A and B are shown apart, each in its own frame.
Chain A
């Protein structure tokens, strides 16, 4: 199927050059989804979607024009190509605008499961029912606000005037729940749990539903506590939230725009020695993997933080050109926009201590299960409302807390990490994270 899309794109490359383009890129996608949605503890709708489209980048005299059309029809693509030309004519030139050259092709295994082709709408609905029923049967206090089960086939193809000509198929089964526990007048803080897998045989909705139920039941019966100073233990979910800002700051777009804390810090120690983070877009069988990125560059490994030292910046082609470097293969996004920089599979190197051994060491602190914060992306300053936080006293996890906040700075916290757990949770999707528990000492919590 992807070969059909590629053969559709190839003649347009020649046509664009004939029209006078210096360089051109056609990036096409076809998504086929079957989805069962639920709402308010009931199934809500069954949805069948086919979405096609092409994103067109034209470079003329180093000026860029981009359009997208949600169609694979030839007349629509031609219309889009002409509009991209018109845009390129009125945009200022940028010396670093040139497309990547021909790439060494690699194969990433186990990112497509042929079994998805026979996964029917009935299978989708039955999986959704099992997910919903497992969660609600776990405890009568569970209330599901919304959720879904989706089976998707994702095809992509790219053809450029610089010799890139590649295509790929992926399968993805995604499922998740959003809701809260309610016990009379006690409404627990909401939470969610989501997962994506490649293979039909990997789907385990019962586990996700049970993990979700345990998580939201823990939010009931919350109590106020006094302000204190102690240790913050971040669960893998909140570690991901904490580090999203750090990872965004390591992207070349933020650094080159002067909007990154990590500007001029390459090679500097920014965190404790126990912290190592590697991004690898080629991991077998992971939803975050693929053979090439949004502009056809081969995916590869990038050491982002190595034993506490900032070692890797994420680049796409244009940002890399600006510094006379090679793209790291991190261009992402759909056919509807120009590429932006994304992560693939972010892997935290596990620590040596189990979370079960970390908690007993803590005299007083909070196990943070969800944070509500809008940290400043440049300075890292934040004020976080802690949701579903659980008090840790003398090594024991005790009361669930409410109305408690922490104010601080994300980047300072990197140097105050006391433990990285050996357990990791895979938080899977198009951008996948493998994340541990982290503990950070000397945190002041305000109530």
Chain B
């Protein structure tokens, strides 16, 4: 495979920048719903994607045919596409220079997934499902889902980058649906990582069952939260989603060029002094691990906000040239037939000096937000996230579970209100995908963080 890519690079026409990328992704999914094995599948998706820059325009083509002739044709198609586009470009694409990256990078975990059989996976999922359904008579529904990505990538470019990456990324989901007296409440616990089968030691399925069952049952009788501006103490999982969705997307420099809320804010105070936000691909156990990006750039540890001051956007080589900075290594492609886009990696708040308990103790009335659900952020940095697990805080003490909580606000205003970050730093947002035309595996987190946000709860409605 390496020879095929090398031939593409070596035989490029003069004046053409080429990035050639092989990506094999083997996806394994095993899922059980309420006592029935719903799927047990293997999806093998492999091919070569070629991106070329000709006369200031990108052309991209891909093929799953890994014969020399087909790959040559793919290069020709990419060049033809770029040539067609070039006369129409308002701003020609120019790339910032890079130092080439070479090497072989692996993150397969302590107990590689390849050492485990499909049979083991089926047993894990069906056993978990059986245990969950028999845990309590109020549990009427279930969903147990194991998904693994096995990636092998080779990335070369005409600037001399030549890197090979092997990684595996398992996710495990355990959902219980409790039902009683006409009320139905689901709760899902999920965990993922970049690594291997040790995921199930770090987070044993029995622990996930216990949590999903307990919370779904408690939610049946949980009250709504009090709506309005509230002090919120956010677990690292919730901090991660704020960093990613509400701030992270606004600093992706393609979005900055379109006029996001972060435009023109470099050097400005955008958050309280407790806030230092980072995006990096360096943690090899996290889902956003990235030793080399899909354009062949070595990823930087990028400090987006340092003690409240905005320091950097996230860049491709093109936007780095546009803003006259160094590329940050944020160009990522989901599969071989996707062209790279600016995406986040592991995005988090650096730890502070408080303890979680100190942050909770200082709250007269507020909410401790543990587990995020879905949500969305806007170009203006306004966001809305559902919180699947939240507890009331009264006079510095944790109270009972509340249901149907969402938090909304302007992300920069919320960050300005941060008055403490705890020292319990961790990344814990690894399941699922970020969506931006194509998916990406990312992670996020931080230390437990205290701020003020608008909580939706008992305000009436539909």
Contact = CB atoms under 8 A, between A and B. Distances in A.
Contact of A407 (B46, B60, B140, B404): B404
A48 B339 CA distance: 11
B34 A45 contact: no
B258 A377 contact: no
A407 B408 CA distance: 12
Contacts of B337: 49, 51
Interface stretch (A251-259, A287-295, A324-332): A251-259
19 contacts: A48-B59, A48-B77, A48-B81, A49-B61, A50-B62, A65-B40, A73-B65, A86-B118, A87-B41, A92-B37, A180-B259, A182-B259, A187-B380, A374-B375, A376-B186, A403-B382, A405-B408, A406-B462, A409-B461
A229 B460 CA distance: 9
A19 interface: no
A78 to B, nearest CB: 13
A206 B162 CA distance: 44
B363 interface: no
B110 to A, nearest CB: 25
Given A46-B84, A376-B404, 5 more contacts: A45-B51, A143-B259, A258-B177, A378-B185, A385-B406
B459 A66 contact: no
B375 A40 contact: no
A125 B88 CA distance: 8
B227 interface: yes
Interface string A383-410: 1110100000000000000110111111
Interface string A29-73: 000000011011111111111111100000000001111111101
A125 B85 contact: yes
Q: Give the residue among A129, A145, A377, A387 with the most B Cβ atoms within 10 A.
A: A145
Contacts of B65: 71, 73
B126 A407 contact: no
B186 A39 contact: no
Contact of B375 (A372, A387, A446): A372
B460 A70 contact: no
Given A36-B85, A381-B404, A444 B459 contact: yes
A94 B37 contact: yes
A416 interface: yes
Nearest to B322: A40
Given A91-B122, A374-B373, A407 B460 contact: yes
A408 B82 CA distance: 50
Contacts of B59: 45-48
Contacts of B186: 259, 376-379
A66 B408 contact: no
B118 A90 contact: yes
A436 interface: no
B81 A68 contact: no
B60 A385 contact: no
B376 interface: yes
Chain B: number of interface residues, binned into ranges: 35 or more
A179 B259 CA distance: 9
A48 B141 contact: no
Contact of A258 (B29, B62, B141, B375): B141
A39 B177 contact: no
Interface of A: 36-37, 39-53, 64-71, 73, 80, 83, 86-87, 90-92, 94, 121-122, 125, 129, 143-146, 179-180, 182, 187-190, 227, 229, 232, 253, 256-259, 261, 336-338, 372-374, 376-379, 381-385, 387, 402-403, 405-410, 412-413, 416, 440, 443-444, 446
B456 A187 contact: no
A112 to B, nearest CB: 23
A381 B45 CA distance: 38
Interface of B: 29, 33-34, 36-47, 51, 57-65, 77-78, 80-82, 84-85, 88-91, 93, 117-119, 122, 126, 140-143, 177, 179, 183-186, 224, 227, 254-255, 257-261, 337, 339, 373-376, 378-380, 382, 384-386, 403-406, 408, 437, 454, 456-457, 459-462
A180 B379 contact: yes
B77 A412 contact: no
B81 A90 contact: no
B404 A145 contact: no
Nearest to B183: A379
A143 B258 contact: yes
A68 B45 CA distance: 8
A286 B459 CA distance: 42
A402 B45 CA distance: 44
Contacts of B255: 145
A257 B33 contact: yes
A419 to B, nearest CB: 16
B135 to A, nearest CB: 14
Contacts of B177: 257-259, 378
Contacts of A410: 462
B384 to A, nearest CB: 4
A406 B227 CA distance: 11
A192 B405 CA distance: 27
A91 B57 CA distance: 50
A125 B84 CA distance: 8
A182 B457 CA distance: 32
A387 B378 contact: yes
A447 to B, nearest CB: 9
Contacts of A408: 460-462
B254 A40 contact: yes
Contacts of A382: 404, 462
B77 to A, nearest CB: 5
A129 B88 contact: yes
B456 A374 contact: no
Give the 5 A-B CB pairs with smallest separation, nearest first. A408-B462, A258-B141, A408-B461, A374-B374, A444-B460
Contacts of A381: 403-404
Nearest to A442: B462
Contacts of A64: 37, 39-40
Nearest to B384: A385
Contacts of A256: 33-34, 36
A406 B258 CA distance: 30
Contacts of B183: 379
B241 to A, nearest CB: 12
A190 B378 contact: yes
B185 A379 contact: yes
A164 to B, nearest CB: 20
Given A94-B37, A189-B378, A407-B459, A122 B90 contact: no
